[in-house]
Amino acid sequence: MPEAYHVAIMGATGAVGTELLELLEERNFPVQELTLLASQRSAGKELFFKGKPIKVKAISDVDFADIDLVLASAGGSVSKEWAPKAATAGAVVIDNSSAFRMDPDVPLVVPEVNPESALNHKGIIANPNCTTILMSVALWPLHQHQPMERIVVATYQSASGAGARAMEEVKQQAQAILQGEEPPTESFPYPLAFNLFPHNSPLNDQGYCQEEMKMVNETRKIFGVPGLRVSATCIRVPVLRAHSEAINIEFTQPLTVSKALDLLQTAPGVKVVEDWQTNYFPMPMEASGQDDVLVGRVRRDLSHDHGLELWLSGDQIRKGAALNAVQIAELLVDKQALKPKALA
C-alpha cells in the first residue's frame, strides 16, 4: 500500500486555505485523514473534501501528535504560536506566513528553484511571499544561464493578496462608487475600486514598505545570492485575483531576447504568452486559476547592454501561495522525506 498522511490545514476557511483544500483533491495528494483548523469563530463550519463534509475545528482544540503534515495559512501571529508546537509534536509544517521566512534555520522554498532546500528542514518549511514566488519562477531559469546582478521590479497586486474579504470589499466598493455612495474601506485604508495606491504595509526608514523588503530579502535567500541587488515598488491595483509584475533585469553579461525566450519556454512552471502583432501579453484575468506563471513582453533594455525587460502575471492564491505549499509537500513525499507517524 502506498503511504498516506494525516494532513491538517491551518486557516482552512480563508482564501488560501480553501484553495489548499481544492488542490489536495485536484492533485490527488495521498491524504489518509484530513483535519481542518481555524479560529474559534470558524469552528463548526463544514467544508467538503472529495464530496464528504468535514467540520472545522478550533486550532486550540487539536493535538498535533498524530498529524504528519500541517499546511499553515492563518497569519504570522498564529503560525508563531502553533507551528513550533506542531513541529515539536513531530509534524512537518509548511507555513505560508512571513513568520519564519528569514529564519536561518528555516528553508525558504520554491520547488522550481531550490527544491533541495526543503530536505534540510527542522520541522518548519517557509513558503515565500506571493510576489517573490512568481518572480523567482520566471527569473531562475535566466539566472542559471546568465547570473543576474540587479533586479528592479514593480508589482501590480490584486485584492486577493489581502484575502477573500478584501476581494468582496472591492466588489462592494465598485458598486457603491457607481451608485454615488461612500465606498467601504475595512480591508484597505483607501478605496481600491477604480483606484490604486502603494502597498499599505509598514514603511522602514529608507521608505521601503514591508512587502517590498520581502521581495528583496527573500529573493536573495531563495537564489542563494546574499549580495544580489534588488529594488521593488509594490502597488495595490483594482484587480480581484492574480498579481502582475514589470521586471527589469541586469545580467553580468548580455543575454539575447531569443535565448531568454528559449529558456523560459522550457522552464517548469512558466508559460510564455506573447503576440506582438496583437499586443497580447500576460493578463491577471487569464492567469487566474492557472498553475503556471505567465511571462511575456520580453525585450531588450534600451538603456543597458546587459539588460532585459519582461512582464508576468500569476495567480497569487494558487502558485503564489497554496500551490507552492502543496508542491513542497509533494516534493517531500517524492523524496521519501515525509513519513506517516502511523507507520513509525
Give residue-wise pLDDT tens across range 145-168. Answer: 999 999 999 999 999 999 889 999
**Which residues, 6 or more positions from 161, have their beta carbon under 8 angstroms from its beta carbon?**
130, 236, 243, 316, 320
36 lies in some domain: yes
Per-residue pLDDT tens over the stretch 70-87: 999 999 999 999 999 999
- The response to whether 206 counts as a known ligand-binding position is no
Residue 54: give its domain's CATH number: 3.40.50.720
Q: Are residues 36 and 139 in the same domain?
A: no
Per-residue pLDDT tens over the stretch 81-135: 999 999 999 999 999 999 999 999 999 999 999 999 999 999 999 999 999 999 9
Nearest to 100 by CA among 135, 125, 132: 125
- The response to whether 233 counts as a known ligand-binding position is no
pLDDT at 331: 97
Give kind and range of the element (H or E) at residue 299.
strand 293-300
Q: Are residues 118 and 216 in the same domain?
A: no
- The response to whether 297 counts as a known ligand-binding position is no
Confidence of residue 2 (pLDDT cuts 50, 70, 90): low
Nearest to 67 by CA among 8, 25, 12: 8
In the 8-state DSSP scheme, what is residue 318? I
177 lies in some domain: no
Per-residue pLDDT tens over the stretch 292-309: 999 999 999 999 999 999
Residue type, 313: S
40 lies in some domain: yes
Cell representation of residue 210: 514591508
pLDDT at 344: 60
Number of domains in the chain: 2
191 lies in some domain: no
Q: Are residues 235 and 103 in the same domain?
A: no
CB distance 311 to 282 below 8 Å: yes
- The response to whether 160 counts as a known ligand-binding position is yes
Q: How far is CA 127 from CA 176, 260, 338, in A?
A: 36, 27, 17
Cell representation of residue 139: 527569473
Q: Which domain holds residue 137?
A: 132-158+196-314
pLDDT at 5 over 60: yes
176 lies in some domain: no
70 lies in some domain: yes
Q: Are residues 278 and 148 in the same domain?
A: yes
25 lies in some domain: yes
- The response to whether 15 counts as a known ligand-binding position is yes
**Which residues, 6 or more positions from 54, have their beta carbon under 8 angstroms from its beta carbon?**
34, 36, 46, 47, 48
- The response to whether 42 counts as a known ligand-binding position is yes
Predicted TM-score (pTM) of this structure: 0.96
- The response to whether 296 counts as a known ligand-binding position is no
Average pLDDT over residues 257-280: 98
Residue 285: give its domain's CATH number: 3.30.360.10
Catalytic residues: 130, 243
pLDDT at 1: 46
Q: Are residues 31 and 68 in the same domain?
A: yes
Instruction: State the alpha helices, DSSP H only, in the chain.
Output: 15-26, 76-88, 130-145, 164-178, 210-223, 257-265, 284-287, 323-334
Q: Are residues 210 and 291 in the same domain?
A: yes
Task: Quote the Cα angle for 13-15-21, to 5°.
Answer: 65
* Mean pLDDT, rounded, of the chain: 96
